[in-house]
Amino acid sequence: SLDMKGIFAASITPFDKQNKINDRVLLALMERNIHEGVTGFFIGGSSAECFLLSQEERMRIFEIAAEYKNITKLIAHVGAISTDEAIAYGLKAKKLGYEVISATAPYYYKFSPKAIVQYYYDIYENVGLPIILYNFPGNTGVEFDLQNEDMKALFRSDAIVGVKHTNLNIYQLERIKNIKKELIMYNGFDEVLVAGLAIGADGAIGSTFNFMYPHYRKIQEAFEAFKHEEARILQTKANNIMEALCRVGLISAIKYALTLQGIDAGAPRKPFFELDTTQKQYIEEILNLNLVR
Ligand code: NAY
């Protein structure tokens, strides 16, 4: 079986001044995160602005990251509204040597539970790689109803090996794990990492690990050493940072935090705004106050 437990950085997509993907910066950031000790990377997810990328660009970032496939673990995010489009991304990832893919539920049209479940089976059958189901109801609008028999069967099926649980309802994380204990459960909101670990998460996938993984490593170590008070204090510091990031615009702020660290992540894609001067100062102050290096 695949050993995919651990802490994965949800990669960003750095853009250059011409608004093109900056390969060099993406690789430099990955290299730094590998050096800091991350288990691997979640490539092309929300933090990578996947739904603001062209189809070619979504495949291109899989290709860039694949450079490190032998020294780290990679998950390719292939989620799309269209099943065929998701399959095309999955096939590209497979060709590049990825062994695991992930997919958001198809969104916007309010597809029926049957249609959503079929989307996952179709991806699995056509790509032939196990899927980490990306459960992000806040952004997709899709709630996985565990009372629904089709959805329960999906979690039990061979198609799904894990769940990226980007949902503050961590009770549901525990209930999903209870459906099939072999599922690899990833905590997906970095704000509740300590709680996710406590209720059974096997790891985490998050965007703030890009610029503050050493801080989370301390949380993980404290938790594993049963120093729960210490873990909570570090979580609070991390949450002071995340609250500020979300206030000014999460993805723009993550890119700015990286820029402060010498990783030139560039601006986010429109309609996202770049931070203004006041917001930049605010983020810099919050980081200085709370970041444990
Ligand atoms: C991804 O790129 O797919 C993700 O990492 C999703 C998880 C992140 N959620 C969002 C909306 O980006 O790491 C979280 C999130 O950034 C963090 O908890 C701060 O809110």
User: Which of 47, 213, 251 for a ligand 1 pocket mutation test, highest count of atoms within 8 Å of Cβ?
Assistant: 47
CA distance linking residue 27 with residue 171, whole number of Å: 36
Q: Cβ neighbours of residue 150 under 8 Å, at least 6 residues apart?
A: 113, 114, 117
pLDDT at residue number 123: 98
Q: What is the DSSP letter of 167?
A: -
pLDDT at residue number 53: 98
- Interface confidence, given as ipTM, is 0.92
Minimum-distance ligand 1 atom for the alpha carbon of 209: 13
pLDDT at residue number 43: 98
Residue 206 CA, ligand 1 centroid: distance in Å: 5
Phi, psi of 238 (to 5 degrees): -60, -40
Burial per residue of 5-22, b for 16 or more beta-carbon CB atoms within 10 angstroms, e otherwise:
ebbbbbbbbbbeeeeebb
Q: How many residues does the chain have?
A: 293
Instruction: State the catalytic residue, choosing from 73, 92, 164, 280.
Output: 164
pLDDT at residue number 293: 67
Please count the helices (runs of H) and the strands (runs of E) in the chain: 12, 8
pLDDT by position in tens, the chain (length 293): 579 999 999 999 999 999 999 999 999 999 999 999 999 999 999 999 999 999 999 999 999 999 999 999 999 999 999 999 999 999 999 999 999 999 999 999 999 999 999 999 999 999 999 999 999 999 999 999 999 999 999 999 999 999 999 999 999 999 999 999 999 999 999 999 999 999 999 999 999 999 999 999 999 999 999 999 999 999 999 999 999 999 999 999 999 999 999 999 999 999 999 999 999 999 999 999 998 76
Instruction: State the catalytic residue, choosing from 98, 120, 134, 216.
Output: 134
Residue 172 CA, ligand 1 centroid: distance in Å: 18
Residue 181 annotated as catalytic: no
CA distance linking residue 247 with residue 279, whole number of Å: 9
